[in-house]
Structure formats: C-alpha cells, structure tokens
Amino acid sequence: MPEVRSPILELQGITKSFGGVEALRGVDFALHPGEIHGLVGENGAGKSTLMKIIAGVHTEFSGRFLIDGKETHFRSARDAHAAGIAMVHQELSVAPDLTVAENVFLGNQPTNALGLVQWRRMAREAGEQLARFGIDVDPMSRLGDLPIGLQQLIEIARVLFSGARIVILDEPTSALSPPEVERLFATLRRLREEGTSIVFISHFIEDILRVSDTVTVFRNGRKVAETASAATSKGALIEAMIGRGGEALEHSYTDDLLLPQPSDSAVVLKVDQLTLARSLKDISFEARAGEVLGIYGFMGCGQQELSRILFGKLKPDSGALLVEGQPKTFASTAAARRAGVALVPESRRDMLFHQEPVYKNISISILDRISSLLLKPAQERDIAKRQVEQLQIRPPVVGLDLGMLSGGNQQKVALAKWLTYPPKLLVLCEPTRGMDVGAKNDVINIVRDLRAKGLAIIVLSTEPETVLSLADRILVLKRGALVREFRNEPVSKDRLLEAA
Amino acid sequence: MTSSETALAAGQRARGLAPFLRSQMRNIAPFLTLIFLSGFFAFASPSFATLDNLGNILTQVSVTGIIAVGLTFVILCAEIDLSIASIANVTGIAVAYFTLQESYVNIANIPLPGAVAILLSILLCALLGLVNALGLTVIGIPSFIMTLAMMQIAAGISALLVRGQIAYKVPSLITTLGSGSIGGIPWLVIIAALMLLGGHLVLTYTRFGRYVYMVGGNREAAEYSGLNVKLILGAVMVISAVCSGIGGMLGVAHFGSAQQNEFDTYLLDSIAAVVVGGTSLFGGRGGIGNTIVGLFVLGVLNNGLDHVNIDSFLKILIRGLILLAALVINVYAQRLREKAAD
C-alpha cells in the first residue's frame, strides 16, 4: 500500500463559496502515488467542487494546495494539465463527427514536417492504445456511430493514456454496461500499478468499494470520513453520507417512512415492456388516478428517456403505452398533450419562454382550449392571474418577462401551464431541484392537491428526498431496468440508496 | 409594435429607461436609419422628397413587400426560405403559360380561362411550398439546404415552361392588379398593403401567430408545451411560397412580361427587408411592422441613390454595406436582449 510515500497532491483547509454559500468548508484531502481514491456524497455535497479546484476549473478559493510537497496555485485548467492532472467530466465531451482516432488524439494529432496530419500513424497508435483498454474498434470509424457507453470508454481511455499523473473520473460508470465497467476497472488497476493516481467519484458505492483503496465521504461541503475501502461497507458509507441527527433544516428522511396501502383506483397509464437502445430495458409499470408514483435512480439511469417517451418526444424501440386502456403511439408531443399527458422536464430552459411574459408562458399549452382562431388576451391574463395567485408566484405580475423571475418561481410557472385544464397524467422531472425550502414545500402542496383531484402523477428524481416527500409508491430504476418497488412498507433514504 | 412588445415594454419600463431602450434597439435602429436616409436624400436631391416620388417608392417596394410577408413568418420561426424568388418566377410564368399568348410568342402553352389559370398557378406555388415543408419537417433537411434545392427546382420548371422565350399575356384580373390603378393609387400598392396588414393581423391576433412567435422564441419549449412544431413550421413554408407566388404573378403583370430569371434580385431584397427591419434571424422577435420599416429603408435607399449623382457601380457596394450594418445591429440587439433577460 502506498501510505508510506508522501502524497503527490495535498490540499489543506480548502474553503470555497459561491455567492455567499459555502460549497466547501475547510476540507483536507491527500492523494498518494499509485492510489485509487473514491469520493462519495450526495448531490451538492462538494465532491465535484473540490475536483474542479484540483483540475484548475475553479481558481478562487482559500486554503493550501500542494503538488509534490510544493505550494501551487493554478490559474487555469491549462496549468493543471501542465502539472499532469486530467479530468473526465460527467457529461460526455467528445467530437461525435470526428473519427475515433481523431478523438483519441484530440488537440495533439501527430504531424509530419509540413504540419500535415499523419493519418496512418494516428490510426495505428490510437488502435494500440484502445486495444490496451480492451476496446476493439476501427480507429477510422466515426465516433458518433458507436454506442454511448463505448464513446464514454473511449473518452476515458483518451484521458487515462494522456500521460497524466493524476486522473479524476467523475461518475464514469453510469452509462456503462457491466462488462464495460469490468474493463474500466481492469485498466484502472493496471494504471495504479504503473504509479498513476486516480480519483473516482461515483454514486455506485459498490463500484467505489470494489476498485478504490481509500474512500472519502463528503456531506454539506465537509469531509466527514476517510477510510480504507477494505475496512468499510456500503451501509456505513451511506450512513456517513446522509448523516444522523437533525442538523439539516429540512426533513432528512433518514428514518423509515411508511408508504400507504396501494391505491386500487383506475389505471391511467400502463407501460408494458418498454425498451430503448441502451437506456431502458423491459420497463413495465402502472400509474393510477389519485396516486403519486415516484421513480428514483441515479443520474443516467434512464429516467430522462422514460419521461420523454411518455410525452411523445422520444420513440421507444419496443413496448407499449396504454392511456386509460387505449394503446398509444405518440407521433408528437402535441398528440401526447391531446391524450391528456403533461410533462415538466428537469430543465426550465427547455420548458419556458424567457423572453415572453408570464401569462403567455402559462397560456401556451391551453390556447386551443380558450380560442379557436383569434387570441383572447384578456382571458389569458385572467387564467394566468388565477394560477399566479394559487401557486403564489412572485412577483404577481403576469405581464412581466419570465426571465425576470427567480428560478423557483419559474419552476412554478412551468407547473402552472398544465394546471388550468389538468391532464390525466402529469409527469414531473426533478420538480424541486434547486429550490429553497419554502418553494419546495409549495410544490409539495401543489402536487398533493393535484393528487386529491384524481390526477395520476409520476415524479422522477435523482434526489431521494424529492421522491420520499411526494410518492405513495416508489420504483427504483437502475441502469435502465426497474430493480425494486416499494409499496405499503417502510422506506428511507438508506433503503432507496441501498436498492439503487 | 405588436401587443407582445407593448406588454414587454410595460415590464421593462419599470426598471428604467436605459434598459428599455436597449431592449427596443431592434425596433428603434431601423427607424432611425429610415429617418436618416430620407433626410439625407431630401437634402441631397430636390426631386427626392416629392409626393410623386413617394408613389414611385411605394410601387417599387410592393412586389418585394408581398414576398416579404411570407418570409417574415419563416424568419420569425428561425428558418429561412431561399426559394422565394424562384417560386415567384415560376408562378408568374405559370399564369402566363395558362393564358392565350399573341401568335408571335413561340411557347407551346395551354390556354385556360383566367380564373382557372390563376387557381392552377396558386396551386403550383402552394405545392412547391408543401415540398419545402415536407423536406424540412418530415425528412429533416435544414431549411437553408432544402430551399436552396427548391430554388433550382423552381428555376428548372420555369425554364421548361418558357424555353428561353418571353410571354406577355396574363389573365386580365392579374393585369389590372399588377399594372392598373384606382383613384391614382396603383392596385399593386393596395394589394401589398392589404397583404402586409393581413400578415400583421394573423401574427398578432391569431392563435397561429402566437405559435409562430413561440416556436421561433424557443423551439424546444414549444415542443415541451405540446405544440405541433412540425405542423407550424410546415405551414409557414407554405405561406411563404404562396406569398411569393402572388408576388410573382403581380410582378409579371407589373413588368409586362414573363421570362426566366426575372425575379432574381428579389431574393436578396426580401431577406434584406425583413432583416433590416429588425426581425431577429434567431426567431421569435420582430414582425410585419419591422418588415414595413425594412421595406422603406430599402426602397428609399434604392430610389434615393438614383436621385443623387453617384457612380452606378458604387450603388451595389453601398447596398451591401447597409445590409451588413443591419445584420450587425440584428445580432447585437439579440445579445443585448439576452443580457437584459438574464
């Protein structure tokens, strides 16, 4: 074990705040040569912020930053790169229209004396590198034609073989199939033998425990535990992640919550063996009137795709949707809307018109209900005013441009569009993400009201609290498959995380 | 100003005059340009600022105006139609093709009653617009490329119909509307004004008009709001083609002849009118009001340059520079607005 050697990277007392909110509070972190260091913590616990400081993305912070025992301060990601630090970000950052070889050599293609790219050499070397990683693809094929998991592996391979001494992997396994994860781990272990230090961030605690030497746990911007992987367990890590005791302002859902008796009201939506390429495998479930169905899973588990299929924005490869018993294949989102399905996506930007006034944002989905040919602006404003009042949207001025509202209020507008003529099925993606406690409670109350009115509601979230605070029944989605259903039984954050 | 802009203005005024003016830059700048150009030419040439010449300008911009009505819909949706001039041309040729020509015109045409000829010609341009629409929405070809192909296709149909010849006769209704006048006002100007008014009413007061603005403002959000985005995009492509076709038929009557390539300059002029007027190339902002201002800027510029003593070859360059300036303002105004909205 590498403990005897001095750390290659050492951070002391790192504090970082964004606009007065502390994202990191006095964090110490050390990384040794030839060590795989796992990082776990909830969304917003500070893992990614710390890694971005190491990778030179965030340059403003307080605390000491040492590389090879020497104090350093990066001014840019380029400085970090020069110091041998490379990071694979959670979102894919490849050039899909270039060849595999070009992607592997992105930014430093081999050239001859004239400055021309040496294609044959590039293809050969790229092929060799990928082969070391167990990837057998034609280096001259277009990257975008390959499956997403393979693209991600190639991006990881590019960074791993870039010669960096410190490699940071942020959530690398979420889009990978089990054999691909094996290949990645084998490569990580080999690089460890060669002396590379690796930081591995993941929500998949099993993955962390299998591959890392050391695990550090973050909670609310603090490092709360650091332990050898061999000396801990999934349960212990989850407990450290979410913490015991009431230090949080909100209900923390650490204790068991009893889910109610399953409803036997009418089935509004039936999903039968839905499958979509690498995203969803054989998904079947029902949503009932007057019931909130929660679907929980990690980022990239297929929630986004599932919600898009329900609203006619994506077409599944196979499987059926039945709305009130009628089989439906939505040709467009307009068809889904007419069938009584409504969606609020996780990104407000995708749902709202920032340069248009609030009332037009609220009326857009129901214009065909209030006017056949000519617009009725007075009626639109009345409807909007009613919604603004009911949802307590601030400021209560329906003529104001939407872009001038705060994020939480924008989220309420996104909901308000669907409420004047309530749909049969309301699909909510991350309905409370980024909201303060007050706004969150408002949304929770709105959803409960809608349930009381008999809507079938599906809440998809990567935050256990969101699902626990809203759902009557909970499905857990893991790598595109439904792995667990909680109904009429005790459930808690631990149990959800354990299942996912 | 459309009602959406007044509502917007009310919201912004609350935050002070400077941000309000910044957000309205796209409406103010073209208007200032128009006043400046008119003032300049009035000062430079005594024959410019006369009632007669105003009539000239109006007549000169009418065909462009008719075509620009449809193009405004397309650009508001953040798409483009490069086939407008070709479709105008082929429709003008078609209406002549279906009319009995003098014996010296050597075209193997099909004479039909006037009403039928007009109807068939409108059907033809609507059909070409429908092909644009299907290419854009069903197949997913970007409008820039789709309409570039249509530009060639329409030119090809024109060539096959006239085979290098010139036709002169069009149905009498078209002749009257294209070259006649009532009470001293050319019918052509009246038609252009009515079509611009109609376009404005549709965009401002109908549900479809709202959809056009919303699809142009944020296509993703329009789709997530359950609008049939493809249907709306398809509709604007057909509207654009039909407006072009009407412009083409009246243009042929106005010029007194139907021949190949006679509308070529109208492509650039129509796009310039819409964009110079301040309608955003990124969609969702602007409208027929802007297009009217743009038409006048272009009309005053073209007409005024004829009134001052200037190298005629230099005029082309000057027009190009004015267009460039308008594009700079268009992009800059968009950026200012985005900043104001943040």
Taking CB atoms and an 8 Å limit, are B224 and A404 in contact across chains?
A: no
Structure tokens belonging to residue A275? 């499958």
Residue-wise pLDDT tens digits, B161-175? 988 888 888 898 999
Whole-angstrom CA distances from A474 to A21, A117, A293, A483, B226 are 32, 54, 6, 11, 27
Residues of chain B neighbouring A313 (CB-CB closer than 8 A): 223-224
Whole-angstrom CA distances from B42 to A33, A304, B317 are 80, 62, 21
Segment A91-98 shows an average pLDDT of 80
CA distance B257 to B168: 4
Interface test with B, best of A304, A361, A362, A364 (most B CBs within 10 A): A364
Amino acid identity for residue B121 in this structure: S
Segment A234-251 shows an average pLDDT of 65
Q: Tell me what pLDDT residue A250 has.
A: 47
Taking CB atoms and an 8 Å limit, are B206 and A374 in contact across chains?
A: yes
- Between B214, B226, B342, which is nearest A337 by CB? B226
Phi, psi (degrees; rounded to nearest 5) at A16? -145, 130
Q: Tell me what pLDDT residue B30 has.
A: 84
Q: Tell me what pLDDT residue A235 has.
A: 83
Q: Tell me what pLDDT residue A147 has.
A: 73
Confidence of residue A391 (pLDDT cuts 50, 70, 90): confident
CA distance B233 to B216: 9
Taking CB atoms and an 8 Å limit, are B10 and A354 in contact across chains?
A: no
Residues of chain B neighbouring A357 (CB-CB closer than 8 A): 4, 7-8, 11
Taking CB atoms and an 8 Å limit, are B11 and A375 in contact across chains?
A: no
Q: Tell me what pLDDT residue A245 has.
A: 43
Q: Tell me what pLDDT residue B8 has.
A: 44
- pLDDT of A392 above 80: yes
- Between B205, B211, B337, which is nearest A355 by CB? B337
Helix or strand holding residue B158 (H, E): helix B143-162
Residue linked to tokens 């990601």:
A77
Residues of chain B neighbouring A368 (CB-CB closer than 8 A): 207
Pick A338 or B105 by higher pLDDT: A338
A/B interface, count of CB pairs below 8 Å = 101
Instruction: Encode burial over A464-489: b for 16+ CB neighbours within 10 A, e otherwise.
Output: bbbbbbbbbbbbbbbbbebebebbee
The alpha carbon of residue B210 is apart from the nearest alpha carbon of chain A, in Å, by 8
Q: In what order do the strands lie in the sheet with A197-201?
A: A85-88, A166-170, A197-201, A36-41, A214-219, A222-228
3-state SS, A159-195, equals HHCCCCCEEEEECCCCCCCHHHHHHHHHHHHHHHHCC
What parts of chain B have a pLDDT lower than 70?
A: 1-16, 19, 22-23, 334, 337-342
Interface test with A, best of B5, B26, B224 (most A CBs within 10 A): B224
Q: Tell me what pLDDT residue B217 has.
A: 93
Confidence of residue A3 (pLDDT cuts 50, 70, 90): very low
Q: Tell me what pLDDT residue A337 has.
A: 93
pTM over 0.95: no
Amino acid identity for residue B105 in this structure: V
CA distance B300 to B295: 8
CA distance B310 to B318: 11
Q: Where are the beta strands (DSSP E) in chain B?
A: 181-182, 185-186
Taking CB atoms and an 8 Å limit, are A353 and B12 in contact across chains?
A: no
- Between B206, B226, B284, which is nearest A333 by CB? B226
ipTM over 0.85: no
Confidence of residue A434 (pLDDT cuts 50, 70, 90): low
Angle at A453 between CA A447 and CA A458, to 5 degrees: 45
| DSSP state letters, B205-259 | HBHHHHHHHHHHH-HHHHHHTT--HHHHHHHHHHHHHHHHHHHHHHHHHHHT-B-
Q: Tell me what pLDDT residue A495 has.
A: 86
Structure tokens belonging to residue A123? 């293809």
Answer yes or no: are the C-beta atoms of A499 and A479 closer than 8 Å: no
Residues of chain B neighbouring A373 (CB-CB closer than 8 A): 206-207
- Between B12, B214, B226, which is nearest A334 by CB? B226
Residue A42 burial by Cβ neighbours in a 10 Å radius (0-12, 13-18, 19+): buried
DSSP 3-state assignment of B167?
strand
Q: Determine the length of chain A.
A: 500
Taking CB atoms and an 8 Å limit, are B226 and A336 in contact across chains?
A: yes
DSSP 3-state assignment of B186?
strand
The alpha carbon of residue A232 is apart from the nearest alpha carbon of chain B, in Å, by 45
Taking CB atoms and an 8 Å limit, are A373 and B214 in contact across chains?
A: no
Q: What is the dihedral of CA A186, A191, A193, A199, to 10 degrees?
A: -90
Q: Tell me what pLDDT residue B11 has.
A: 46
- Between B206, B220, B228, which is nearest A332 by CB? B228
Answer yes or no: are the C-beta atoms of B191 and B250 closer than 8 Å: yes
Segment A129-154 shows an average pLDDT of 82
CA distance A445 to A466: 13
- Between A311, A356, A400, which is nearest B217 by CB? A356
Sign of CA dihedral B235, B241, B244, B250: negative
The alpha carbon of residue A413 is apart from the nearest alpha carbon of chain B, in Å, by 12
Give the range among A97-106, A225-234, A239-248, B79-88 with minimum mean pLDDT.
A239-248
Q: Tell me what pLDDT residue B93 has.
A: 95
Amino acid identity for residue B64 in this structure: T
Taking CB atoms and an 8 Å limit, are A334 and B220 in contact across chains?
A: no
Q: Tell me what pLDDT residue B108 has.
A: 78
Residues of chain B neighbouring A354 (CB-CB closer than 8 A): 218, 341
pLDDT > 90 in chain B, percent = 59
Query: What mean pLDDT, rounded, does chain B reach?
Result: 88
Residue A336 neighbours by CB under 8 Å, 6+ apart = A310, A311, A312, A328, A330, A343, B226
Confidence of residue A33 (pLDDT cuts 50, 70, 90): very high
3-state SS, chain A, equals CHHHCCCCEEEEEEEEEECCEEEEEEEEEEECCCCEEEEEECCCCCHHHHHHHHCCCCCCCEEEEEECCEECCCCCHHHHHHCCEEEECCCCCCCCCCEHHHHHCCCCCCECCCCCECHHHHHHHHHHHHHHCCCCCCCCCEHHHCCHHHHHHHHHHHHHCCCCCEEEEECCCCCCCHHHHHHHHHHHHHHHHCCCEEEEECCCHHHHHHHCCEEEEEECCEEEEEEEHHHCCHHHHHHHHHCCCCCCCCCCCCCCEECCCCCCCCEEEEEEEEEECCCEEEEEEEEECCEEEEEECCCCCCHHHHHHHHCCCCCCCEEEEEECCEEECCCCHHHHHHCCEEEECCCHHHCCCCCCEHHHHHHHHHHHHHCCCECCHHHHHHHHHHHHHHCCCCCCCCCCEHHHCCHHHHHHHHHHCCCCCCCCEEEEECCCCCCCHHHHHHHHHHHHHHHHCCCEEEEEECCHHHHHHHCCEEEEEECCEEEEEECCCEECHHHHHHHC
Whole-angstrom CA distances from A307 to A302, A382, A430, A496 are 9, 31, 11, 20
Segment A186-211 shows an average pLDDT of 89
Taking CB atoms and an 8 Å limit, are A355 and B205 in contact across chains?
A: no
Structure tokens belonging to residue A441? 């409670």
Residues of chain A neighbouring B205 (CB-CB closer than 8 A): 374-375
Phi, psi (degrees; rounded to nearest 5) at B100? -65, 125
Residue B131 neighbours by CB under 8 Å, 6+ apart = B150, B153
Q: What residues of B are in the A interface, CB distance below 8 Å?
A: 3-4, 7-8, 10-12, 205-207, 209-211, 213-214, 217-218, 220-231, 284-285, 337, 341-342
CA distance A429 to A346: 5
CA distance A282 to A299: 19
Phi, psi (degrees; rounded to nearest 5) at A17? -130, 150
Residue-wise pLDDT tens digits, A106-119? 877 888 888 888 88
Residue A470 neighbours by CB under 8 Å, 6+ apart = A292, A294, A431, A444, A447, A457, A459
CA-nearest of A49, A4, A56 to A27 is: A49
Structure tokens belonging to residue B210? 């709202």
Q: Tell me what pLDDT residue A297 has.
A: 87
Segment A302-314 shows an average pLDDT of 92
CA distance B248 to B62: 11
Residue A339 neighbours by CB under 8 Å, 6+ apart = A323, A326, A328, A330, A424
Taking CB atoms and an 8 Å limit, are B10 and A399 in contact across chains?
A: yes
